[in-house]
Amino acid sequence: MCIGMPLQVVALEEHHAWCEADGQRERLDMALVGAQPIGTWVLAFLGSARQVMGAEEATQARAGRAALGAVLDGGSDVDAFFADLVGRTPELPEHLRPTTSGKIAQ
């Protein structure tokens, strides 16, 4: 299984950027997202930045990766990694919510 990793741009080169987070440092090809300023979060996959991420989205993705690591290490309590979800009922995205006619919006 391969999953992207949120990394933050820390140094710039012509078509690449050095990015890091959670003890990882990687030189990424920035061709798919274009040049990004230092401090920008990107989703890294196979040596390339695949998308620009907001800080909150990066935090949530990093928490999800940390939860996966905890489970792989034998842990079973992952609630602390998903504080934004614990204690509330998840909501469907707008495009999946039923309309007043009872049909899902297309």
Q: How many domains does the chain have?
A: 1
Integer CA distances (angstroms), 95 to 54, 60, 90, 103, in order: 22, 22, 15, 11
Of 46, 48, 19, nearest to 34 (Cα)? 48
Asked whether residue 91 is domain-assigned, the answer is: no
User: What's phi and psi for 69, nearest 5 deg?
Assistant: -60, -40
In a domain, residue 106? The reply is no
Q: Which amino acid is at 98?
A: P
In a domain, 22, yes or no: yes
Taking only the tens place, the pLDDT of each residue in 38-51 is 999 999 999 999 99
Whether 42 is covered by a domain: the verdict is yes
Residue of 63, 37, 60, 41 lying closest to 52 (CA atoms): 41
What's the CATH number where 28 sits?
Answer: 2.30.30.140
User: Residue 87 domain-assigned?
Assistant: no
Domain span at residue 19 reads 5-81
pLDDT band of residue 101 (cuts 50, 70, 90) is: low
Q: Is residue 101 part of a domain?
A: no
Quote the pTM value.
Answer: 0.72
